Amino acid sequence: MKITRRSILAGAAAIGAVAAVGTSTSPAVAAPSAVPADKPVKQPGTVEQWGLYEIVLKGPEKGNSNPFVDVTLAAVFQGAGQAITVPGFYDGNSTYRVRFSPPQAGEWTWKIESNLPPLRDSGRVTVVAPSAGNHGPVQVVPGGYHFAYADGSPYRQIGTTSYSWALQSDEKCALTLDTLSKAPFNKMRMLVFPNVPSAVTDPFVRTGPGPKDWDPTRFNPEYFTRYEDRIARLLELGIQADVILYHPYDSTRGYSDMKRADDERYVRYIAARFGAYRNVWWSMANEYDGVKTKTLADWDYLFPVLQAADPHNRLRSMHNKNIYYDARKPWITHASIQNPGAALDVIRAQLHREFALKPVIFDEVGYEGNISQRWGKFTGEQITQRFWNSFVGGTYCGHGETHNPEKNPSTSWLGQGGTLNGTSAPRLAFLKQIMDDGPAPGIDALQPWWNYDTGGVDSQYYIHYFGEDAPTAWDVLLPNGAPQTYRADLIDTWNMTITPAGTFTMAKTDAGAQDPARPTVALPGKPWMAVRFTRV
Amino acid sequence: MKITRRSILAGAAAIGAVAAVGTSTSPAVAAPSAVPADKPVKQPGTVEQWGLYEIVLKGPEKGNSNPFVDVTLAAVFQGAGQAITVPGFYDGNSTYRVRFSPPQAGEWTWKIESNLPPLRDSGRVTVVAPSAGNHGPVQVVPGGYHFAYADGSPYRQIGTTSYSWALQSDEKCALTLDTLSKAPFNKMRMLVFPNVPSAVTDPFVRTGPGPKDWDPTRFNPEYFTRYEDRIARLLELGIQADVILYHPYDSTRGYSDMKRADDERYVRYIAARFGAYRNVWWSMANEYDGVKTKTLADWDYLFPVLQAADPHNRLRSMHNKNIYYDARKPWITHASIQNPGAALDVIRAQLHREFALKPVIFDEVGYEGNISQRWGKFTGEQITQRFWNSFVGGTYCGHGETHNPEKNPSTSWLGQGGTLNGTSAPRLAFLKQIMDDGPAPGIDALQPWWNYDTGGVDSQYYIHYFGEDAPTAWDVLLPNGAPQTYRADLIDTWNMTITPAGTFTMAKTDAGAQDPARPTVALPGKPWMAVRFTRV
C-alpha cells in the first residue's frame, strides 16, 4: 500500500478520507479553506453505523484568544432512543470539529452547544447499516475474559508494538503499513508523544528553540491530523490502534510531565479528536510507574477525566513497568501486563485473570531481537511460546521486535516500524488461524488449580500445549466425563503443520474421560507441539 | 500440655489465666460471682505492654432487656500521648467487659462511656515492659511483603488449618495443643462457627429444638469464653490465631446467613471479645465466595465495620474459593489465597505479590491426606514443595491435613484437630529453621521477570530450589556482579540435611556474577534439593 505525502499530510483531504473509512456513503468533507469564517460548513447527510461522522464548523478569528482554552464546544446527538453528548475540538485555522461514531442506525439529530455563538448550529444525519467489513468497535464480552466486535464477530487479539511508527516519514509509515498488511497483527500499540528519533516531534506549538520551549495550552493540529491519519490507515487494515497517551522515555521534551490542568486538556483533546475512530483503544501510559512526575493518584484522577471525555467508551488499560496497576479499578476494561515471565506457562497467564477478573493482554512480553539488552534479544521460539501459553491460558499476548542490522532498538520495528526481520510473526499468523478455527469468543484454561495446562471449552474443544517439552506420548485424559467423540490433531506450532491424529471416543473414568481403546496419543518427541481435540 | 475441664470451661478462671498471658504482674480477675451487681469490680493495676488488660463491670439485671442490643459500652484509654476508644461487650450474668492491649508502656487512664449509668467508671493502669517471649502482635513490615512482631522480631509464617479444633471436647483440644507444641506451625486458621461435628455448636442462645432456632441478638457467652480460651492457649505456644468469622459449610444452622444488622452486631462482638489477644488475626471468611447469602458488597461493607470495631487494628484478610478477593482494598492487610496450583512454582507465587502489593499467604494449598477427593490427597512431598516455592517466591504458605484412618476429612486434623499423621510437618519444621537462619524480615524472588527461580536478598543471601527436578549440577550465576564470597550449602529439603559445599568467590560477568574457578555446583541428581549461598 502506497501512501502519498499529500494523502497523509494534507489535513482536510486526509480527514475526508478518514470520514469515509468504512462508510460508502459519506462524501469527503469540504476543505475548510473553501468556507467563509463564521459560516457553518455543509455537513454530510449520511454515515454508517460505527463510522465516523464529522461536523466541521468555522469560528471567528479573535485576536489573542486561545481557542484550545477559551472555546467550549460539544454536540448533543439524539437518535435510537439515546442522547449522547460529544465533545468537539479546535483544529486550528478557525476550524472546529465534532466527531461522532453512531452506535446505532436510524435518524439522528445534532445540536451544537458552545460559548462561541457562531458555532451554534444543528442538523440531522441518517445513520445507515454498516458496510461489509465494518464490525464496529472491539468490546469486552460482558462478564468475561474475551473480546468481540460490537456486531458479535470474534476478535482474537494478536498485538504488536511500534511506539513511534506513526511519527516517522511518510515513506517509513507506508513501509510499516505494507508490513502490517502481510502480518497477523490486529492491534498496534503506538505512542502519541515521540520516544525515538521521529520526523515529527511537536504535538504542541513551539515557543522557542529549547527542547522544553512549547506551550501545553496550544496543540499543533498538524501533528494530530497526521497521527489520526495513521489511525485510519490501521482501520483500513482491520488493526486496532492502542493509543498510548503518556510514556516515561522523554525527559528532554517532558510531554509526560505536564501539570494537571494541562494533562486534563490534553486527555480531553485526545478523546475528542481520536475517540470516534472505532479502532481506537486507550492505553493511559506505557510503563506508567516509570513516569516519575506522576503519582498513582494522578493516574487515578486522569482515568475518570478520560471516561468523561469519551462518549464512545473505548477500551481503557494501563501498562506497567514494575508495579502492576490494579486492573480491577472500575475504569479499566482489561489488564495490560508487562512481565516477560508471566506468560511462561499456562497457569501463570491464567492467574492474571484471577487477579483482574477481566480480559488480560500481556502487552510486551519481551522483544524478538538481536540487541544486547536482555529484554530485546528473545528468540522467535521464545516469543511464540509466550503467545501459545497466553492463548491456552485464556489470555492474549503482544509481540515486539528489536531485530535490525544496526542492533539498535530505537530504529527497530519496536521504535520506528518498517520491516519485520524476526521469525515469530509467521508463527503468530499460524496461531491466529488456530484461534480463528476455535471457539468464540475464546477459550479458558481448564482446571487451573490442578496444573492441567489445557485450555478449551468443556465438552467441545481442548488444546494442550507442550512448550519446550518434547514428549513421545501424552495421556489423553479430558476433564469432562461425558462420552463424546473428538477428532484429534497434532499441531507443530513452530513448523506450522497440522496432522490429523484420528478420533478418541471417551468413557468416564475416576479422573475425567479417557478412550479405553486409546488412552494415549503419540507425539513426535520434539518441542513446540500442541494437541487439539475437537468434538465431532 | 494437659488442659483440665475446669481451666478451659470455668469462665472467669479461664479469663483470669488469659489476662495473665505474657503478663507476669497481672493478677487473675476476681470471679464475677464475688462482686455485687451495680458495683464496679476492682480492676488490676498493672499489665504489660501488648498484654491483655480487662475491665470487669457489673450491670443491673433489667427484666426483659437484651444487654447485647440495648447497652452501649466503651472505654477511652489515654496514655503515651494517645487516646484509644475500646468497645466493651456483655458477657452474660450481668457482667460487662472491656479488653485492651496497650501498645505502649507508661501510665494510662481509662474512663467508661455507657448508656447504662452504673457501668460508668474510671481508673488507671500502669503498663509495664513486656516480659520475655512477649514480642507484641504480628504486623506487616511497612511497605513490604513480610511480617514482623511489633518489637521487630521476625515472624515467618508457617500456617496450618484446623477449622473446628477449638469446638471439640476438652480432651481433643488438649491433644491438638499437644500436637501443636511439637509442630512448626505458628499460625492456626480456625472457624468461629462450627463446620464439622463438634462438642459445642451454639454461638447464639437457642430458642427451640430446630437447627435454625437461635436468636442472633443473643450471644452464648459460654461458647465465646471457651473459644477465647483456645486463642489464649495458642498464644502460650506462640501461635497466631487466624479467626475466621464466616464460612459457607453450614446451611443447616445458617450462622453465616444472618441479616446485616445481625452481622454487624456479631462482627463487633467478635472484635470486642477477641481483639485484645495479641495473637489474633481476622479472616473475614473462609471461601467467602461460597457464602451464597452474601454479595461482594456485603463483604466490602463488613470490613469497615470490623475496622471501626477493632482499635487494636489486627491483621485482616479474606480467603477465596474460586474468585480472588481484591487484596488491594484498603482494609486488607495481606492476601489470603486458596489455589493449589498457585504455589507450584516460584514465579507463580511471586506474581501474587505483584497483584496484592502486600504480603501473600497461600492459606490452604491442598491438604496432605488419604481421602478420595483430589483436594485432600496431596502427598507430603507435594505440600512441602508448595511451601518451598512460596518461600523462595517471597510469600508464605499454609498446611492442612486430611490423613486419618477413617479417610474422613471431617474427623481429620483439618476438621477437628487431634494428631498429625502426615509426613510434611517435620519437613516444614526444617524449612522453618532455614527461614529463621535467613535474612529478616524475609526474602524476595529475584529477577522474577527472568524465570530465575531464586529468592534472597541481593548481595547477601540466595536460595534456589529445584523442586521435582533432579539435576546433577547447577550454573552458579548470581544476579549481582559484586565480587563477594559466598558459603554454599546443599539442602535436601525432604531428607532434611544441610551439606556444606565450599565457597564461591564471584567475579562480574555479562549476566551477573560467577566464580571463574568454579562456575557450577555439583548436585546429587535427586529431587527436592535446594542450594543456598550466604555471604561470608
Which residues in A458-497 are b (16+ Cβ under 10 Å) and which e? ebebbbbbbbeeebeebebbbbbbeebebebbbbbbbeee
How far is C-alpha A479 from the geometric centre of its chain's CA atoms?
34
CB of B345 within 8 Å of a chain A CB? The answer is yes
Kindly report, residue by residue over B402-415, the tens digit of the pLDDT.
999 899 999 999 99
Between strands A204-206 and A335-336, the pairing is: unpaired
Q: Does B346 touch chain A (CB under 8 A)?
A: no
User: Would you call B352 an interface residue with chain A, using a CB distance cutoff of 8 Å?
Assistant: yes
Q: Tell me if A347 sits within 8 A of A383, measured CB to CB.
A: no
Q: Cβ contact (<8 Å) for B344 and A347?
A: yes
Could you give phi then psi for residue B147, rounded to 5 degrees?
-115, 160
Query: Smallest Cα–Cα separation from B508: which of B482, B534, B485?
Result: B482
DSSP state, residue B368: B
Nearest by CB to A324, from B324, B355, B449: name it: B355
The β-bridge relationship of strands B360-362 and B335-336 is parallel
Has residue B314 got a pLDDT over 50? yes
Q: Which residues from chain A sit within 8 angstroms of residue B348, using beta carbons?
A: 345, 347-348, 351
Alpha helices in B237-379 (DSSP H): 260-274, 296-309, 346-356
Are B67 and B103 within 8 A, CB to CB?
no
DSSP-assigned beta bridge partners for residue A46: A126
CB-side neighbour CA atoms (13 Å) of B214: 19
In the listed set A408, A437, A466, which residue is the last one of a domain according to the structure? A437
Q: For residue A479, list chain B residues with Cβ-Cβ distance below 8 A.
A: none
Residue among A351, A374, A447 with most chain B CBs within 10 A, to mutate: A351
For chain A, which ranges sit under pLDDT 70?
1-42, 62-63
Q: What are phi and psi of B486, to 5 degrees?
A: -125, 145
| Long-range own/partner contacts, residues A515-521 (CB < 8 A, 24 or more apart) | A515/A476, A518/A476, A519/A475, A519/A476, A520/A473, A520/A474, A520/A475, A520/A476, A521/A473, A521/A474, A521/A476, A521/A488, A521/A490
Closest CB to A351: pick one of B340, B351, B451. B351
**In this structure, are A165 and A51 located in the same domain?**
no
Question: Who among B328, B339, B342 is closest to A326 (CB)?
Answer: B328
**Burial (CB count <10 Å: 0-12, 13-18, 19+), residue B295:** exposed
Read off the pLDDT of residues B141-174 as tens digits, 9 standing for 90 and up. Answer: 988 999 999 999 999 999 999 999 999 999 999 9
Record: contact A344-B451, CB cut-off 8 A: yes
Q: Which of A68, A101, A128 is the last residue of a domain?
A: A128
| Same-domain status, B201 and B342 | yes
A292 and A390 share one domain: yes
**What is the domain-level CATH number for residue A484?**
2.60.40.3950
- Measured between alpha carbons, how far is A17 from A145 in angstroms, rounded to an integer? 35
Q: What percent of chain B has pLDDT over 90?
A: 85
For residue A374, list chain B residues with Cβ-Cβ distance below 8 A: 450
Residues of A in contact with B355 (CB under 8 A): 324, 355
CA B346, CA A348: separation in Å to the nearest integer?
11
**What pLDDT is recorded for position A483?**
83
Q: Do A344 and B449 touch (CB under 8 A)?
A: no
**Strand locations in A8-137 (E):** 46-48, 53-58, 73-79, 82-90, 95-100, 106-114, 122-128
d(CA B142, CA A80): 54
Cell triple for residue A329?
479499578
CA quadruple B163, B166, B168, B174: dihedral positive or negative?
Answer: positive
Is B448–A341 a contact, with Cβ atoms under 8 angstroms apart?
A: yes
The reply to whether A451 falls in a domain is no
Element (H, E) at B232: helix B221-236
Name the minimum distance, in Å, from the CA of B348 to any CA of chain A: 6
Q: What is the pLDDT of residue B483?
A: 83
Question: If 0-12 CB within 10 Å is exposed, 13-18 middle and 19+ buried, where does residue A429 land?
Answer: middle
Q: What is the pLDDT of residues B27-40, one digit of tens each?
A: 333 233 334 444 44
**How many domains, in total, are found in chain B?**
3
pLDDT, tens only, B428-465: 999 999 999 999 999 999 998 888 889 999 999 999 99
| Interchain proximity B347–A355, CB inside 8 Å | no
CB of B449 within 8 Å of any CB in chain A?
yes
Q: Do B351 and A348 touch (CB under 8 A)?
A: yes
State the smallest CA–CA distance between residue A507 and chain B in angstroms.
20
Same domain, yes or no, for A231 and A328? yes
Is beta strand A461-465 parallel, antiparallel or unpaired with respect to A454-457? Answer: antiparallel
Give the domain CATH number at A269. 3.20.20.80
Residue B143 falls inside a structural domain = no
Nearest CA in chain A to B378: A450
In a domain, B442, yes or no: no
In a domain, A444, yes or no: no
Residue B453 in any domain: the answer is no
**Contact (CB<8Å) A348/B344:** no
Q: Are residues A78 and A100 in the same domain?
A: yes
Claim to verify: residue B277 and residue B365 sit in the same structural domain: yes
A184, A35: one domain:
no
Integer Cα distance of B302 and B322 in angstroms? 20
Interface contact B354, partner A, CB < 8 A: yes
| CB-nearest partner of A339 from B326, B341, B449 | B449
Asked which of A128, A162, A177 is the last residue of a domain, the reply is A128
- Say whether both A122 and A177 belong to one domain: no
Mean pLDDT of the region B233-238: 98
Residue type for A168, please?
A: Q
Could you please report the per-residue DSSP string of A110-168? EEEEESSGGG--EEEEEEEPPPTT----EEEPTTSS-EEETTS-EE--EEEE-TTGGGS
A50, A221, A311, B73, B388 from A10: Cα distances, Å: 24, 11, 28, 77, 63
* 3-class DSSP string for B339-358: CCCCCCCHHHHHHHHHHHCC
Q: Considering the entire predicted model, what is its pTM?
A: 0.91
Burial class from Cβ neighbours inside 10 Å (0-12, 13-18, 19+) for residue B307 reads middle
Q: Residue A36, exposed/middle/buried by CB under 10 A (0-12, 13-18, 19+)?
A: exposed
Whether residue B403 sits in one domain with residue B331: yes
Mutating which of B300, B324, B386 best tests the A interface, going by the most A Cβ atoms within 10 A?
A: B324
Residue of chain A with shortest Cα separation from B335: A355
User: What residue has cell string 568454579?
Assistant: B518
Q: Quick one: A509 and A432 in the same domain?
A: no
H helices present in A21-87, as ranges = 67-70
The C-alpha cell at A49 is 453505523
Q: Which amino acid is present at B189? A: R
Closest CA to B435 of B135, B137, B158, B152: B158
Q: Is residue A301 part of a domain?
A: yes
Range of the domain at A529: 458-535
Q: Cβ B451–A348 below 8 Å, yes or no?
A: no
Quick one: pLDDT at residue B13? Answer: 30
Residue A4 belongs to some domain of the structure: no
CATH code, A109: 2.60.40.10
Number of A to B CB contacts under 8 A, please give it.
59
Other C-beta atoms lying within 10 Å of the C-beta of residue A120:
14
Farthest-apart Cα atoms in chain B, separation: 87
> Is residue B159 located within the same domain as residue B28?
no
ipTM: 0.89
Prior bond to A441 cis, omega within 30?
yes
Residue of chain B whose alpha carbon sits nearest to that of A338:
B449
Q: What is the pLDDT of residue B42?
A: 65
Is there a domain that residue A133 lies in? Answer: no
Q: Cell 497467564 identifies what position?
A: A349
> In this structure, are A223 and A348 located in the same domain?
yes
Quick check: B10 pLDDT over 80? Answer: no
SS3 state of residue B91: coil
* Shortest alpha-carbon distance between residue A286 and chain B (Å): 17
Å between B452 CA and nearest CA of chain A: 9
Please give the Cα distance from B425 to A476 (Å, whole number): 35
A contacts of B448 (beta carbons < 8 Å): 339, 341
- In angstroms, the separation between the Cα of residue A449 and the nearest Cα of chain B is 5
CB spacing of A324 vs B450 below 8 angstroms: no
- Give the integer Cα–Cα distance in Å for B536 and B534: 6
The residue of chain B nearest to residue A453, with distances taken between CA atoms, is: B341
